[in-house]
């Protein structure tokens, strides 16, 4: 170490505390006080200690699942930190995050991440928020060397480079990608690969806290000057296994010996900079602090099971959210222009709103949804991005956590599949794991469904997949008015919202009440009332269902039409009313039938309203098939008006 003696002693004291803490975690895991895996950072203590010495109070940190050292260096007290790892009620997250997914934003730690590489796009989003607010702040994210091979890492670096974001990426390069030597998985060096993104990249002695501090200070200064991001490969060692039960049967003895020689505490003792008495006193102080925390944690209760479902959303869906009847008078707009109008209104009224995605800025979106918005609100608020869905979604998570309200576009619903981690593992967990200390009020707009000529990779209906994920709200606007109203509701909502629009609806015209009061992100629309049959539907099927209802009415069959609009939260009161109106129910959707959301609706009706049914619920959807490009083949698969009438005939005995 090359710092002053007082600085060196303080760094050693912090590193010793981290080492004692990690060793105690392993002991408690063996004892059974910790359930599950523990990933300790023994040998890598110099990196968080040195890095945090160079950061300011407004800077933010995202760590890997090996992040206990980062938590301690950020200032998280040992007692709630250890309690979290032991899954106790007094944990920093009440036992929700555990060892590998804890968060302490009040101490600048915006979370560990158990998904390799996923933190880079999120940290880019934190940096995006700082940049948008012109804050003198950077974000720092740590990754392991194995994360260099993850797509999310590359996308996050590309995104940050394109926006010159104030981001510092630290690779804690210990030579191992879990149980595999990193060198066997790469042809170029880690630093060279990072430099390939056109960003500043350096190798650093990661076993020297002073060297790390100097490198991070220089990188942070570069990032603050608008010349970021900066990548630092901190070369370090791993003293122990990948996780607490790793016996390291695969590891050469010479590699372990090298690690024991180079690890930062051993190097400090081998140096003449600090006396043995100083080092021994620091070690004793560290052990005493860890012992005190351990004693307190042992006395803590486990979390209250009654609280297990709390903090999934900011608040439960409001009562009385069902909308009655068709849309009223309003300005005649296409669905496309209705979405554009909602974005324009919210951009004008919310300075924290950001709109971005592939081709969203200069071109106005491939479907013209954001046309004219960049000219009106500037390229900083309405922006193009690299073709990098993980970076788009992950940065939205980070920016939302930092107080922005991003609205991002994923061009086709099918493209969500290359980046689902950032929705399912990241956005959906933010509020829950942090017990509301963090939130992610983001909106993802996409479009889905079949259009003539659309191939199997541009035509899937994926709403059931996303509605299955607790923590995400899912809506499907079917008309221009609802496209406007539901987007405004989603933007105002404090939780992640996903809106599935439809290319087939973009040019459909209808009345839009631009002066309508703001709705909650909840509530179905009861479009028709009838006592003979009830049709429950959503999205692209609403129009053919209404046409079928008109044809039924011509021959005296009165149909209830319930447009669910939001699949999560689900309007159970509206479904109950629809069942009660007729006792005969058809659930219709464009998605294929097996495991479609109609199965959930049908099962729920049979469970809650069995005695009110005159016959079993009938489901209508596409057959279990891929979607061909040829319109003639598509028509053979996608349900239409005649199919709806046939199903109603089965339920009512009417003549179709």
Q: Which residues are catalytic?
A: 458
3-state SS track over 224-290: HHHHCCEEEEEECCCCCCCCCCCCCCCCCHHHHHHHHHHCHHHHHHHCCCCCHHHHHHHHHHHHHHH
Provide CB contacts within 8 A for 265, sequence distance 6+: 12, 15, 16, 19, 45
**DSSP state, 181?**
E
Strands, E assignment, 389-496: 405-410, 443-447, 473-475
398 vs 404: CA distance, rounded Å: 9
Q: What is the DSSP letter of 458?
A: S
- Closest by CA position to 367, among listed 444, 446, 482: 446
Distance CA 511, CA 517 (A): 15
- For residues 291 and 298, give the distance between their C-alpha atoms in angstroms, rounded to a whole number: 11
Nearest to 106 by CA among 94, 117, 93: 93
CB 234 within 8 A of CB 172: yes
Q: Distance between CA 529 and CA 542 in Å, rounded?
A: 15
Cα 513 from Cα 480, distance rounded (Å): 10
Cα separation of 452 and 268, whole Å? 69
Alpha-carbon distance 281 to 266, whole Å? Answer: 15
Asked whether 174 and 142 are in contact (CB, 8 A), the reply is no
What is the 8-class DSSP label of residue 426?
I
- CA gap 538, 561 in Å, rounded: 10
> In terms of C-beta density within 10 A (0-12 exposed, 13-18 middle, 19 or more buried), how is residue 303 classed?
middle
β-pair partners for 364: none
Please, what is the Cα angle at 413 between 412 and 415, to 5 degrees? 70
Residue 223 carries which DSSP code? Answer: I
Spell out the SS3 assignment of 108-168: CECCCCCCCCCHHHHHHHHHHHHHHCCCCCCEEEEEEHHHHHCHHHHHHHHHHHHHCCCEE
What span, in angstroms and rounded, lies between the C-alpha atoms of 390 and 416?
9
Question: Which residue, among 96, 98, 67, 66, has the nearest Cα to 82 in the 3D structure?
Answer: 98
Closest CA to 469 of 574, 597, 305: 597
| Displacement of CA 214 from its chain's centroid (Å) | 33
DSSP reduced 3-state for 34: coil
């Amino acid at each position: 170490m090359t710092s002053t003696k007082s600085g060196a002693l303080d760094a050693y004291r912090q590193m010793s505390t981290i080492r004692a803490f990690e060793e105690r975690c392993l002991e408690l895991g063996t004892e059974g006080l910790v359930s599950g895996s523990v990933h300790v950072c023994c040998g890598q203590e110099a990196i968080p200690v040195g890095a945090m010495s160079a950061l300011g109070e407004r800077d933010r940190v995202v760590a890997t699942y090996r992040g206990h050292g980062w938590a301690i260096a950020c200032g998280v007290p040992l007692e709630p930190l250890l309690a979290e790892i032991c899954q106790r009620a007094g944990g920093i997250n009440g036992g929700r995050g555990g060892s590998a997914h804890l968060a302490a934003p009040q101490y600048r730690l915006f979370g560990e991440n158990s998904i390799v590489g996923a933190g880079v796009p999120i940290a880019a989003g934190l940096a995006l928020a700082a940049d948008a607010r012109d804050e003198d702040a950077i974000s720092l994210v740590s990754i392991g060397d194995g994360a260099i091979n993850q797509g999310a890492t590359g996308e996050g670096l590309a995104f940050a480079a394109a926006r010159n974001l104030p981001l510092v990426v630290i690779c804690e390069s210990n030579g191992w990608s879990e149980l595999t030597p990193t060198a066997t998985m790469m042809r170029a060096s880690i630093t060279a690969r990072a430099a390939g993104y056109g960003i500043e990249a350096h190798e650093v002695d990661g076993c020297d806290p002073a060297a790390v501090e100097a490198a991070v200070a220089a990188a942070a200064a570069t990032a603050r000057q608008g010349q970021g991001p900066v990548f630092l490969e901190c070369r370090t060692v791993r003293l122990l296994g990948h996780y607490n039960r790793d016996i390291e049967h695969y590891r050469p003895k010479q590699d372990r010996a090298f690690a024991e020689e180079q690890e930062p505490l051993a190097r400090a003792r081998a140096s003449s900079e600090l006396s043995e008495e100083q080092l021994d006193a620091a070690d004793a102080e560290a052990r005493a602090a860890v012992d005190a925390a351990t004693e307190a944690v042992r006395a803590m209760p486990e979390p209250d099971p009654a609280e297990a479902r709390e903090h999934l959303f900011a608040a439960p869906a409001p009562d009385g959210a069902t909308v009655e009847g068709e849309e009223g008078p309003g300005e005649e707009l296409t669905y496309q222009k209705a979405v554009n109008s909602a974005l324009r209104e919210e951009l004008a009224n919310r300075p924290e709103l950001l709109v971005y995605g592939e081709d969203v800025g200069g071109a106005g979106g491939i479907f013209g949804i954001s046309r004219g918005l960049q000219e009106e609100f500037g390229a900083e608020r309405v922006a193009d991005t690299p073709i990098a869905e993980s970076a788009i979604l992950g940065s939205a998570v980070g920016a939302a956590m930092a107080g922005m309200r991003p609205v991002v576009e994923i061009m086709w619903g099918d493209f969500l599949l290359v980046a689902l981690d950032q929705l399912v593992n990241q956005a959906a967990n933010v509020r829950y794991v942090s017990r509301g200390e963090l939130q992610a009020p983001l909106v993802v707009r996409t479009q889905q469904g079949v259009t003539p000529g659309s191939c199997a990779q541009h035509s899937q209906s994926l709403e059931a997949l996303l509605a299955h994920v607790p923590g995400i709200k899912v809506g499907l606007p079917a008309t221009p008015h609802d496209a406007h109203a539901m987007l405004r509701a989603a933007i105002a909502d404090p939780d992640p919202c996903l809106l599935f629009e439809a290319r087939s609806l973009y040019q459909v015209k209808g009345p839009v009440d631009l002066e309508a009061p703001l709705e909650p992100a909840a509530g179905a629309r009861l479009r028709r009332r009838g006592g003979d049959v009830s049709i429950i539907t959503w999205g692209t099927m609403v129009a053919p269902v209404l046409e079928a209802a008109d044809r039924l009415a011509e021959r005296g069959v009165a149909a209830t039409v319930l447009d669910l609009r939001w699949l999560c939260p689900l309007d159970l009161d509206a479904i109950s009313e629809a069942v009660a109106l007729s006792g005969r129910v058809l659930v219709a959707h464009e998605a294929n039938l097996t495991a479609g959301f109609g199965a959930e609706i049908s099962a729920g009706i049979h469970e809650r309203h069995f005695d009110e049914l005159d016959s079993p619920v009938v489901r209508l959807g596409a057959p279990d098939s891929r979607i061909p490009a040829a319109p003639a083949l598509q028509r053979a698969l996608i349900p239409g008006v005649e199919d709806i009438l046939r199903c109603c005939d089965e339920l009512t005995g009417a003549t179709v």
